[in-house]
Chain A
């Protein structure tokens, strides 16, 4: 790829999806295209597949110019788009047949190829099942099998692991490794998950339409060697500690991780810089760097000048402090939800105390969104008791809803309205009038740095700003309880940190926060969390407790994902035994 640029026209504006992208993807390797949503990943994939044409620059695949001869390139590659076109009403075999017909695979070769693919995917037992009845992970594997029906030389995968549970995610990666290392295929895949970058042979970091780094993932972590630490301080809450550390000079990154704070220092800065914060009994331990540390370092390097250390005043502080005696705000007992004969949520119980950040963790279809919607009063429960602030929101008076804030998945706001119009609407919806409304709107515009975007149509905002605006709308009326549905999915890591900084400040101020997520990293920010699978609670506790439960000598530092997979595997083994 050399100097590839692609722009799109959206109304009267021109959106640059890719700006002067030059890179090499090597044969026989797994190359990861890593970047947040909206960075230009899909556009680049489609340019390589010859589905789109570049405005400038050129792409050569195996020496052939894609824009000059897309057909011969397409003969050598297979492209699996983000939402693969499976026919849900056809069985696994019929889907394979269909793609075999499209690819003109001779009848005589089919049986052998199907066997090989289904064996590779571990899907042989499901060949007659309808594609619509498969789980998210299985659908993705079937999509991959259809894509591979004729073995290509280069396989393009656009975010193959989105919406896939961690177990299937590992399996998919196993298949990709097998394709590359056993069959000599080249794979170019995109992902928004930074932890997946470490599994690639080479990565291409894409941020705001540009390549900001490339090379083997080890290169990024190597540069971070000796700069990552875990900090604990018994005298302080983890969030106070994080806020204090973040303010220090020479700190690249400080994030809450379980019961501690993960600290990354600027190059050449020694760990004793922490002493400047005068934290009693502070305990600092070096840890091996992660890929994300390298990415953050790169982004911070770019934006250090642009972005000032901390943004504005802290979010609104409310009364009350987190203690063990804090009152229960969200109380759920024996909650059940059935849709027909399908049980989406199966007899779950938990409670959340004031000022707590509580996580609902699980793969798609685990029942967490259903639980979430029942708590917000959007869905009636089939059975059981649920109370938010002492009331069931489904039957409580409308005024009770005025105490909660809600931020939907995908940051749902009125796309046709400007930022100010959206804010004004939600302020009025929450009964703010007159001077109070003006004051809160000005607060939102200032606090979330939205003032320059005041008259921008919100549909056109960058994803990170959409998220800020969604949070601003949810906080307009200073709620006591905040519901967040997949709050940072797809957002770049800096925006994610900024978002959590605000949420942390709110929780410190006594706001109760309930978060759903399928992002394992996000679980680290929660005080306590439950892991859900198939409508049931598999485990409850702090992320540290969950990880500790599976710690072994062979795996001294298990990740949240390890804990999740161990729990699911144990659960399935238990079911199989019974």
Chain B
């Protein structure tokens, strides 16, 4: 009995089908794609539920460089000159917030709803009007401010009946009186002619198809659902998910695949591209839609752990311990999922195995890197001695000679703040001749003592073009002579006028009288330098 019923329904179905849809079926038989539409259960409540929306948005993996890319369909024939602004940190944050909302707008997903039902609503029958006219009269209420779906559109047929119009006619008349930009009254050939549609599919213009379908059709139309269904399946068959990532169609596609229990190829792609977290999200989506996984609570717990983390757009090179813990949990859960409820067990298991091996390498590398942060070089009795590299926790880097674990002798130090020192060290302190370069290029060349400028030295003010020669004591300049460097004119902020040639009458003598001058003798310095160079 029930079988008979099904047959009856099916035959009815075939009769009501459009001719155009039939041609679509035939054309895609080559690809063995049969479009399926949401005509049984209504998917809208699940699709619009906040939990699933969050999962879908996260799975979209929005990459701003793709979301805000230059589009060809934004109706700008000529590019406009870019606008520049000076912004403070707060203003920049506000702008970024704006960009986020803008991205949300651009990534707003087309709704997934059930197929609409036909309207059958006869308002009145007046047989006395038969023969009034051969044509049908279509009446549209064009009252201002009424939404398209609530507009009164009725028709008076030649047989005198007054009835509400069916969906197609409503759409057509709405388009005539209140045109939507980009929508055509006639169906575009891209969708009506299967050859052209297939050409687009073969050319992998998926986003174009889906965008165009969004403009041309309503989401509850059969044609829309068929077109999107074929496109989604085509993407799934060829594993071209990346083409749709960061677009608004990715969410509906994932939902479609999950709804029809065919998300395993996507799962495989996720595992292969080593994004296990998203694989967990996908499994959780399946759990939320179908509730058919054995350990559903585990997924929810892990999802709540994953969601606050930032989105991984690229493969991480260095992992923190937290990341490693989370990823291990994810891997275990995916392993369970593959074993219990996957339809592509062997391939996914293989991919997961590959991921595990890769992941172990990354973990080793990031842990090993931390070790390498310590010291590389020559060792004597458990302590660095001789030449060696040292990476400090705060980002400083030292390369030079060591003695009993201390910087000693000639060495170079790159500080994390961008400054640089090259010269002599004594038990981790700057001592002797050395050069210190500041971030802006200004440099001190001269003597150091106890980590401070002490003794005769030269300070080049490169940004203004002056040279300061004199004596320092504990980083404080005691006495100095300022003079112009030859390149003063070419500096970023040259002083307005050159220093006049007048000097103290006996400046040289005063300098020579000071005790620091006596301490230092030029010959000494040169000797020291020579020895050091020989050592190196």
> Real complex partners, A and B?
no
